[in-house]
Amino acid sequence: MKVIISGGGTGGHIYPAIAIANELKAIDPATEILFVGAEGKMEMEKVPRAGYTIVGLPVVGIKRELTLANLGFPIKLGRSLLRAWQIVRTFQPDAAVGVGGYASGPLLLAASLKGIPTLIQEQNSYAGLTNKVLARWAKRICVAYPGMEQFFPADKLKLTGNPVRSDIQLADQQIEAGRLLFGLEASRPTLLIIGGSQGARTINESIETGLQRFVDAGVQVVWQTGPAFSERAKAAVAAVGSPLIKAYDFIYDMDKAYAVADVVVSRAGALSVSELCLVGRPAILVPFPAAAEDHQTKNAMSLVEHNAALLVNDRAAREELITSALNLLSNPTQQHQLRTQIKTLAKPNAARDIAEEVIKLTK
What is the sign of the dihedral through the CA atoms of 334, 336, 337 and 343?
A: positive
**Virtual CA dihedral for 225, 229, 231, 233, nearest 10 degrees?**
-60
Pairing of strands 95-98, 118-122: parallel
Give the full edge-to-edge strand order of the sheet including 157-159.
53-57, 32-38, 2-6, 95-98, 118-122, 140-143, 157-159
Q: Confirm or deny that 10 is annotated as ligand binding.
A: yes
Q: Distance between terminal CA atoms of the chain?
A: 10
Q: 165: annotated binding-site residue?
A: yes
Q: Is 11 annotated as a binding residue?
A: yes
SS3 annotation, 315-335: HHHHHHHHHHHHHHHCCHHHH
- The alpha carbons of the chain give a radius of gyration, in whole angstroms, of 21
**Strand 157-159 versus strand 2-6 pairing type:** unpaired
Identify whether the C-beta of residue 203 lies closer than 8 Å to the C-beta of residue 193. Answer: yes
Strands (E), the chain: 2-6, 32-38, 53-57, 95-98, 118-122, 140-143, 157-159, 190-194, 220-224, 245-248, 263-266, 283-285, 310-311
Report the Cα 166 to chain-centroid distance in Å.
Answer: 14
* 80 annotated to a ligand binding site: no
330 belongs to an annotated ligand binding site: no
18 is in an annotated binding site: no
The answer to whether 207 is a known ligand-binding residue is: no
> Is 220 annotated in some ligand binding site?
no
124 is an annotated ligand-binding site residue = yes
3-state secondary structure of 233: helix
Q: Annotated binding residue at 266?
A: no
Query: Does 4 carry a binding-site annotation?
Result: no
Amino acid, single-letter form, for residue 99:
V
Q: Binding residue per annotation — 259? A: no
Q: Which residues are known binding-site members?
A: 10-12, 124, 165, 197, 251, 270-275, 296
Binding residue ranges for UDP-N-acetyl-alpha-D-glucosamine: 10-12, 124, 165, 197, 251, 270-275, 296
